[in-house]
């Protein structure tokens, strides 16, 4: 039985009464009906926040959205009539039915952004864990495609699937395993009709998202506790939604440059000589690399923050030796602390003395079995515990360890069917902005890993304030991108896993985590076949985090293990990764400001592909690296048969040959030494000379390849790659443009910003797709010579560095082939 809605109009500051007929402006609007309190506000005109609860609203709290953002309200204009209430931000309009509280949200053009499924509205049922648990039932328009939700497995488009969000150590996951390691309740909705929307359901509770699987055309979202706190976003294009989500939950910090280099890992390099051997071999084989990882076996009896004296007698010595080879060391540090009383194990002793561990229902520290045997778990919801945890890194940082790897932080626990803590474990919440209180594990579980990585990140910053931290986490929650890079956990050495990694990483990238990777070669399973490892290195070279890692029982999986023919191909792709660093680093820097990821679905750059009728077919296996490179791996690696590649439009260039490809539909016969990569017409792609590590200074000129086409341009960004000096002007930023005119191709360098001195003193511009020798090349008033290669259709021009605004004109009758 519905009881008539009782209206409460709450003006910002909240004292005024009844609603006049004409519209009024408020900061937050609140209405009560059917026992549900619904509150709407707009932190920005393009973002509507909806909070609701059975009864009164709970505390305004979040682990993902900063208090300042939650406190911000743009004016909502409120108009009431007999049937309902209309709230308008100028960019979003919410219509609430007075009696049912049915909610419908439109954009300024009147297109529906989100709407409760017909005949429904928000409801709260009882949950075993909380007094009331919310369910949203949203209409799914026919032409809507759903993305995001982190690295959930399965197809790129979430439509027709259902997922639980509950961080889980999902070892050996398959494309149908769910839940996985992370919980990122954010969705990007892209419609074939051209509109884009976002939905972020900010709940740490176990939740589920069913995309029309159990109820036709209905997106059912439920959580096991808490109220509703969600954000609806509108934007002219999908990129705008990604940016809005980043505005809400934060952008990733600018990673150190070395994090973009090739990283070699293994569970485990069992002792120092094994680790040294790998480093020596990387250099002997001339495989460019930046980092070596030590997995749990470097520790004494698997105890975090110890080092095995027998296996690694001199950690600082190893760091120094690696450093002399331009390699960095990354150490794993799991969150479980061995319960080892009276053994001089400081993390246990000091944590116990201060009451820093999660408690069991009996009030005593919860003890559970993980790698060290019986272990206890830091209560990361407390700031004092986080700062204590951060301090545990002191010796490692002093020894020169460059980065840290937070594994097992779902948290994973052995010998339990649910693989994690009992739900009656007790955490202490003591977060600014949240009421100080005890909370059961069910409410904290999904943020535990994020808070673990936050403690690590903040601790490293404190220990080494001039150094950009590098943290890699397995579990996380929305907003966790502010603290750590991530990987997709324990995949397997199979072709299907290589294929799965693309939609997984693309959705993870859309969900805020721009520095993400899958274990190259596959973690679990039997040995990667030579072809699989080669292909995976090729694809991995074009994904953000490029780390080769393998499980303990497996044969070696480093790039050289399959003989020289494979090594040569792998080396060539790793080398290409390093040549691309100027492009990659500029993308990385952009992501730290805007949240736009490095790895992107094709539709993010070309939303019209959604409406092309072929729908997502060619977005599933193909992906973009930044706005300019399209990577098209064979979908079925085992098949030697030809496969189709679809380019979004005509005029693209082959990355490897620089030649224009004809048409937008290609048929490719797989070859193990070639990964098809294409360059968008209109690209100015910066590349550097080969180095063996990002620590080395590239030799020779900066190379800028110009692929003429519409919207032609590129970006240069550079800084010292490791400190925060860029925040004080020690950076270099320069935009590049090109224009195809009737008589000339004009290549413009904008004036350079920042005071960082580049490593290059010269620039080589290579213009592709040139039909003939140019009549004249001018740089300002000077005439330059160019080197025209008729067979390749390229024109090569040597330039001095151009820090000031400069214009290069290539004069010819017809510049375009």
**Which residue ranges make up the site for ligand MIG (CB under 6 A)?**
267, 295-296, 332, 407-408, 474, 489-490, 523, 549
- Nearer to ligand MIG by Cβ, of 420 and 692: the residue is 420
- Nearer to ligand MIG by Cβ, of 489 and 786: the residue is 489
CB of 26 closer than 8 Å to CB of 20:
no
**CA dist., res. 304 & res. 406, Å (int):** 11
230 CB neighbour count, 10 Å cutoff = 21
- Nearer to ligand MIG by Cβ, of 468 and 549: the residue is 549
Question: What letter does residue 298 receive in the DSSP assignment?
Answer: G
Residue 82 vs residues 21, 23, 268: alpha-carbon distances, Å: 10, 14, 69
Task: Name the 3-class secondary structure at 26.
Answer: strand
- Nearer to ligand MIG by Cβ, of 407 and 443: the residue is 407
- Find the shortest distance in angstroms from Cβ 341 to ligand MIG: 25
Which residue's C-beta sits nearest to ligand MIG?
A: 267
Give the distance, in angstroms, between the CA of residue 88 and the centroid of all CA atoms in the same chain.
32
- Nearer to ligand MIG by Cβ, of 239 and 549: the residue is 549
- Nearer to ligand MIG by Cβ, of 412 and 645: the residue is 412
Which is the catalytic residue, given 46, 202, 229, 490?
490
- Nearer to ligand MIG by Cβ, of 44 and 266: the residue is 266
- Find the shortest distance in angstroms from Cβ 754 to ligand MIG: 38
Question: What letter does residue 489 receive in the DSSP assignment?
Answer: -
- The sheet carrying 368-370 orders its strands as 337-338, 373-376, 368-370
Q: Which of 664, 656, 645 is nearest to 685 (CA)?
A: 656
- Find the shortest distance in angstroms from Cβ 266 to ligand MIG: 8
Which is the catalytic residue, given 410, 443, 519, 621?
410
Question: What letter does residue 506 receive in the DSSP assignment?
Answer: H
**CA dist., res. 380 & res. 122, Å (int):** 32
Instruction: Provide long-range contacts, Cβ within 8 A and 24+ apart, for 649-657.
Output: 649/606, 649/681, 650/681, 651/681, 651/709, 652/678, 652/679, 652/680, 652/681, 653/678, 653/679, 653/681, 653/683, 653/707, 653/768, 653/769, 654/678, 654/679, 655/629, 655/679
Active site residue 237: no
Active site residue 490: yes
**CA dist., res. 328 & res. 611, Å (int):** 46
Maximal CA-CA distance, the chain: 85
- Find the shortest distance in angstroms from Cβ 487 to ligand MIG: 8
CB of 761 closer than 8 Å to CB of 800:
yes
Which is the catalytic residue, given 224, 407, 575, 590?
407
- Nearer to ligand MIG by Cβ, of 52 and 408: the residue is 408
First to last CA, the chain: 72
Active site residue 407: yes
- Find the shortest distance in angstroms from Cβ 326 to ligand MIG: 25
- Nearer to ligand MIG by Cβ, of 169 and 748: the residue is 169
- Nearer to ligand MIG by Cβ, of 489 and 512: the residue is 489
- Find the shortest distance in angstroms from Cβ 548 to ligand MIG: 12
What are the residues whose beta carbons fall under 8 Å from the beta carbon of 592, sequence distance 6 or more? Answer: 251, 252, 253, 254, 255
Question: What letter does residue 160 receive in the DSSP assignment?
Answer: T
Q: Which of 241, 245, 234 is nearest to 92 (CA)?
A: 234
**CA dist., res. 428 & res. 517, Å (int):** 33
- Find the shortest distance in angstroms from Cβ 291 to ligand MIG: 15
CB-side neighbour CA atoms (13 Å) of 261: 25
Exposure b/e, 176-207, CB count within 10 A at least 16 = b = eebbbbbbbbbbbbbbbeebbbbbbbbbbbbb
- Find the shortest distance in angstroms from Cβ 285 to ligand MIG: 23
**CA dist., res. 515 & res. 503, Å (int):** 15
With both helix axes pointing from N to C terminus, report the angle between 495-510 and 530-540 in degrees, rounded to the nearest 10.
Answer: 20
What are the residues whose beta carbons fall under 8 Å from the beta carbon of 153, sequence distance 6 or more? Answer: 173, 174, 175, 176, 177, 178, 180, 500, 504
Rg (CA), the chain: 27
With both helix axes pointing from N to C terminus, report the angle between 441-463 and 383-391 in degrees, rounded to the nearest 10.
Answer: 40
Q: What is the DSSP string of 355-421?
A: T-BPB-TTSSBP-EEETTEEEE-B-TTSHHHHHHHHHTTHHHHHTT--EEEE-STTT--TT-TTSS-
Torsion angle in degrees (nearest 10) through CA of 591, 596, 600, 606: -140
Q: Which of 90, 141, 150 is nearest to 115 (CA)?
A: 141
- Nearer to ligand MIG by Cβ, of 63 and 393: the residue is 393
CB of 244 closer than 8 Å to CB of 156:
no
- Find the shortest distance in angstroms from Cβ 335 to ligand MIG: 12
Task: Name the 3-class secondary structure at 138.
Answer: strand
- Nearer to ligand MIG by Cβ, of 408 and 584: the residue is 408
- Nearer to ligand MIG by Cβ, of 296 and 808: the residue is 296
- Find the shortest distance in angstroms from Cβ 351 to ligand MIG: 21
CB of 486 closer than 8 Å to CB of 182:
yes
- Find the shortest distance in angstroms from Cβ 263 to ligand MIG: 12
Strands 683-687, 702-707: parallel, antiparallel or unpaired by DSSP?
antiparallel
Catalytic residues: 407, 410, 490
């Amino acid at each position: 039985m519905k009881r008539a809605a009782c209206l409460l109009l709450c003006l910002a500051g909240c004292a005024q009464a009844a609603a006049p007929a004409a519209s009024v402006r408020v900061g937050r609007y609140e209405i009560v009906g059917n026992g549900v309190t619904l509150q709407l506000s707009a932190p920005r005109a393009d973002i509507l926040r909806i909070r609701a609860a059975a009864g009164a609203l709970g505390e305004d709290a979040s682990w993902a959205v900063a208090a300042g953002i939650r406190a911000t309200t743009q004016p909502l204009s409120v108009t009431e009539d007999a049937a309902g209430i209309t709230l308008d931000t100028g960019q979003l309009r919410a219509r609430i039915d007075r009696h049912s509280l049915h909610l419908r949200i439109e954009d300024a053009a009147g297109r529906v952004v989100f709407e409760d499924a017909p005949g429904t509205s928000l409801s709260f049922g009882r949950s075993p864990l909380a007094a009331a648990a919310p369910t949203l039932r949203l209409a799914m328009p026919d032409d809507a495609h759903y993305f995001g939700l982190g690295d959930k497995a399965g197809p790129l488009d979430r439509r027709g699937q259902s997922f639980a969000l509950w961080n889980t150590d999902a070892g050996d996951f398959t494309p149908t395993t769910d839940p996985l390691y992370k919980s990122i309740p954010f969705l990007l909705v892209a419609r074939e009709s051209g509109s884009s929307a976002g939905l972020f359901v900010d709940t740490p509770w176990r939740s589920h998202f069913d995309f029309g699987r159990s109820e036709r055309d209905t997106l059912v979202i439920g959580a096991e506790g808490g109220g509703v706190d969600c954000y609806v976003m509108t934007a002219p294009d999908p990129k705008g939604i990604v940016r809005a989500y980043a505005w809400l939950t934060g952008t990733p910090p600018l990673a150190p440059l070395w994090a973009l280099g090739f990283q070699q890992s293994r569970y485990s390099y069992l002792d120092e000589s094994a680790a040294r051997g790998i480093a020596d071999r990387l250099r002997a084989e001339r495989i460019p690399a930046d980092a070596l990882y030590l997995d749990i076996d470097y520790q004494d009896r698997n105890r975090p923050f110890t080092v095995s004296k027998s296996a690694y007698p001199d950690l600082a010595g190893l760091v120094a030796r690696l450093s002399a080879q331009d390699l960095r060391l990354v150490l794993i540090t799991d969150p479980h602390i061995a319960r080892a009383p009276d053994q001089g194990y400081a993390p246990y002793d000091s944590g116990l003395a201060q009451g820093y561990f999660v408690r069991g229902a009996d009030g005593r520290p919860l003890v559970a079995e993980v790698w060290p045997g019986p272990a206890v778990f830091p209560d990361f919801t407390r700031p004092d515990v986080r700062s204590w945890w951060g301090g545990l890194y002191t010796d490692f940082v002093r020894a020169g360890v460059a980065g840290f790897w937070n594994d097992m932080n779902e948290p994973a626990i052995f010998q339990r069917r649910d693989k994690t803590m009992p739900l009656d474990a007790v955490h202490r919440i003591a977060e600014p902005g949240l009421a100080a209180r005890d909370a059961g594990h069910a409410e904290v579980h999904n943020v535990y890993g994020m808070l673990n990585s936050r403690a690590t990140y903040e601790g490293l910053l404190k220990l080494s304030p001039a150094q950009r931290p590098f943290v890699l986490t397995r579990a996380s929650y929305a907003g966790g991108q502010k603290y750590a890079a991530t990987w997709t956990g324990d995949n397997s050495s199979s072709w299907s896993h290589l294929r799965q990694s693309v939609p997984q990483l693309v959705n993870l990238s859309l969900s805020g985590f721009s520095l993400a990777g899958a274990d190259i070669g596959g973690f679990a399973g039997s040995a990667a076949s030579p072809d699989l490892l080669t292909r995976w290195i090729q694809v991995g070279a074009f994904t953000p985090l490029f780390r080769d890692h393998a499980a303990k029982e497996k044969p070696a999986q480093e790039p050289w293990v399959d003989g020289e023919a494979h090594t040569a191909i792998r080396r060539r792709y790793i080398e290409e990764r390093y040549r691309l660093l100027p492009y990659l680093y500029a993308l990385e820097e952009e992501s730290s400001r805007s949240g736009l990821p490095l790895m992107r679905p094709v539709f993010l750059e070309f939303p019209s592909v959604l409406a092309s009728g072929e729908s997502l077919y060619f977005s599933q296996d193909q992906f973009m690296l930044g706005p300019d490179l399209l990577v098209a791996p064979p979908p079925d690696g085992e098949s030697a048969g030809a496969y189709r590649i679809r380019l979004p439009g005509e005029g693209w260039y082959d990355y490897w040959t620089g030649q224009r490809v004809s048409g937008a539909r290609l048929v490719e016969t797989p070859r193990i030494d070639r990964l098809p990569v294409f360059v968008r017409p209109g690209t100015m792609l910066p590349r550097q000379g080969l180095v063996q590590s990002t620590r080395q200074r590239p030799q020779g000129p900066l190379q800028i390849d110009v692929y003429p086409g519409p919207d032609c341009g590129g970006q240069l960004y550079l800084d010292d790659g490791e400190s925060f000096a860029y925040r004080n002007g020690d950076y270099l930023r320069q935009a590049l443009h090109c224009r195809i005119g009737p008589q000339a191709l004009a290549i413009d360098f904008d004036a350079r910003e920042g005071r960082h001195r580049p490593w290059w003193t010269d620039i080589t511009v290579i213009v592709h797709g040139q039909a003939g020798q140019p009549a004249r090349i001018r740089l300002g008033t000077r005439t330059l010579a160019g080197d025209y290669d008729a067979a390749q259709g390229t024109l090569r021009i040597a330039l001095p560095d151009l820090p000031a605004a400069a214009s290069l004109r290539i004069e010819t009758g017809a510049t375009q082939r």
